[in-house]
Amino acid sequence: MSSQNERMKIQRLQDALFVNSTRFFAALVLFTLTAIIVSLLYGAMPSIKAFGLSFITSHEWNPVTEQFGAWPSIRGTLLSAFIALVVAVPISFGIAIFLTELSPIWLRRPLGIAIELLAGIPSIVYGMWGLFVFAPYFADNIQPWMMEKSADIPLLADLFTGAPMGIGMFTAGLILSIMVIPFVASVMRDVFEIVPAMLKESAYGLGSTRWEVIWNIVVPYTKNGIIGGIMLGLGRALGETMAITFVIGNSQQISNSLFDPATTISATLANEFTEAHGELYTSSLIELGLLLFFITFVVLVLSKLLLMRLESGEGTHS
């Protein structure tokens, strides 16, 4: 009896140790997040006091006159991420569908490994490849063709115009899409694989085509995972630094053309933080980092709300 009581005491002690340790690690995450926010706010306070909300809307970035505006960097961050997702999501969806539904069994493993290897390539390698290989080819062969074909189309004519230099917003978006594809495709492939085979076999037994099974069974069953993969890719695109710095042109000027040089928040930080002198200059760069943190937070919140809305709507459609 005493040995049983002793064993129960040990089990209760182990259980309490486990609960408190997990609670500590959870609190540590929240503490670290709070510390980052507080440090960014403290470092950005001189810029916040000097410029207020005009820092977000201003187009001017001039270290000489100490006039700083974040809009070119914010616009570049959002636009490059948008271009990356527009290109990457359909391709990633096609890759994941092919690997799980259409590919021969002998090809699935090597092709899946190749996709995962792409995700492991350092971003600076993508940047160097984009600058020295892709950008010259893009300038000589693709940009002139795009400009010629879009010349008579009202909206596209303004987006695809300018000198074919190879570097610029559109190139940065394409390089980002190549970097995002492995992440999104891997997540989509994993969630597609958890669809019960019985559901698909039942649909085939009722006479459904392969496309109908994919669109009516696989996609609805895994929609939360699909959105999660897209959000993962968006987070990767928003925070990318080195690859973007190589190919975007690093210009604080705003242009309607996607072929013109631009910048992003992360590229501005990478280019200018080591050269910043003076409290206001450094504080403005820190405020840029704070804005990038806020943008990422808003994206995550919106994705969570979208997932909650999808979950609440399940089972309501006949």
The model's pLDDT over 138-184, given as tens digits with 9 standing for 90+, comes to 999 999 999 888 888 888 888 888 888 889 999 999 999 999 999 89
Give the total residue count for the chain: 318
Torsion of CA 17, 18, 20, 23, to 10 degrees: 170
Average pLDDT of every residue of the chain? 88
* Tens-place pLDDT, residues 4-46: 778 888 888 888 899 999 999 999 999 999 999 999 999 999 9
* Integer angstrom CA distances of residue 226 from 19, 21, 220, 221, 229: 32, 33, 10, 10, 5
What is the separation, in whole angstroms, between the first and last Cα of the chain?
60
pTM of the predicted protein model: 0.87
Q: Following CA atoms 311, 90, 247, 131 in sequence, which dihedral angle do they give, to the nearest 10 degrees?
A: 140
Look at residue 16 in the predicted model and tell me its pLDDT.
87
Q: What is the pLDDT of residue 30?
A: 92
Asked if the model's pLDDT at residue 314 lies above 70, the reply is: no
- Helices 169-193, 71-97: axis angle to 10 degrees equals 40
> What pLDDT, in 10s, does the model give residues 189-235?
888 888 888 888 888 888 888 888 888 888 888 888 888 888 888 88
Q: Mind spelling out the 3-state secondary structure of the chain?
A: CHHHHHHHHHHHHHHHHHHHHHHHHHHHHHHHHHHHHHHHHHHHHHHHHHHCCHHHHCCCEECCCCEECCHHHHHHHHHHHHHHHHHHHHHHHHHHHHHHHHCCHHHHHHHHHHHHHHHHCCHHHHHHHHHHHHHHHHHHHHHHHHHHHCCCCHHHHHHCCCCCCCCCHHHHHHHHHHHHHHHHHHHHHHHHHCCCHHHHHHHHHCCCCHHHHHHHHHHHHCHHHHHHHHHHHHHHHHHCCHHHHHHCECCCCCCCCCCCCECCHHHHHHHHHHHCCCHHHHHHHHHHHHHHHHHHHHHHHHHHHHHHHHHHCCCCCC
Tell me what the mean pLDDT of segment 44-49 comes to: 92
The domains of the chain are located at 54-312
Choices 3.30.1950.10, 1.10.730.10, 2.40.50.660, 1.10.3720.10: CATH for 54-312: 1.10.3720.10
